[in-house]
């Protein structure tokens, strides 16, 4: 699937549709199985607390992957993302209840670059705290 967004139609400040992503302990177990990252901070509450965390936390790469979905959904093609980077600022704490946690992601076009590319800045929040800093993607448009 090719990107459906035209470079000429995008302006600096264009807001991408925001999305919320639920995260439960079951989600973390599924991600651990898929990624091979079975670090106990992602599933063992006792261990997580013993190492100084408030509770079990989501995998950083999982958080990063959920956030970029806002951009790939907007672009219409995951391959349109040619660069992506973040800084992990706070963990996504996932309580052991029916609700879990939520990652709230918003994004906007911050710059128009050469070769029909744009830089998109993302904001990822959970429990009122910014969980990703310097979250930026470069997207190739048509």
Residues sharing a CB contact under 8 Å with residue 104, sequence separation 6 or more, in sequence order: 18, 19, 20, 21, 124, 125, 126
Domain assignment of residue 55, yes or no? no
Confidence of residue 57 (pLDDT cuts 50, 70, 90): very high
Over pLDDT 90: what percentage of the chain? 96
> How confident is the model over 71-113, as pLDDT tens digits?
999 999 999 999 999 999 999 999 999 899 999 999 999 999 9
List the strands of the sheet with 129-140, edge to edge: 15-23, 101-112, 117-126, 129-140, 81-88
Output Rg (C-alpha) for the chain, integer angstroms: 16
Domain assignment of residue 101, yes or no? yes
Domain assignment of residue 38, yes or no? no
pLDDT over threshold 90, residue 131: yes
Count structural domains, the chain.
1
Q: Residue 1 has what pLDDT?
A: 62
How far apart CA 59 and CA 36 sit, in angstroms, is 11
> How confident is the model over 20-41, as pLDDT tens digits?
999 999 999 999 999 999 999 9
Domain assignment of residue 97, yes or no? yes
Domain assignment of residue 89, yes or no? yes
How far apart CA 36 and CA 46 sit, in angstroms, is 21
pLDDT over threshold 80, residue 3: no
How far apart CA 75 and CA 42 sit, in angstroms, is 31
What residues make up the domain containing 98?
A: 7-21+60-140
Q: Tell me the CATH number at 122.
A: 3.10.129.10
């Amino acid at each position: 699937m090719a990107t459906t967004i035209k470079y000429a139609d995008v302006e600096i400040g264009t807001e991408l549709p925001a999305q919320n992503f639920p995260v439960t302990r079951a989600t973390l177990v599924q991600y651990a199985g898929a990624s091979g990252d079975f670090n106990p901070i992602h599933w063992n509450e006792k261990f997580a607390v013993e190492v100084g965390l408030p509770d079990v936390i989501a995998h950083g790469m999982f958080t990063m992957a959920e956030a970029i979905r806002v951009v790939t959904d907007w672009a219409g093609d995951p391959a349109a993302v040619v660069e992506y980077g973040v800084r992990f600022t706070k963990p996504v704490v996932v309580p052991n209840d029916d609700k879990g946690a939520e990652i709230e992601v918003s994004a906007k076009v911050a710059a128009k670059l050469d070769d029909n590319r744009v830089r998109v800045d993302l904001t990822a929040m959970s429990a009122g705290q910014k969980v990703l800093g310097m979250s930026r993607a470069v997207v190739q448009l048509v």
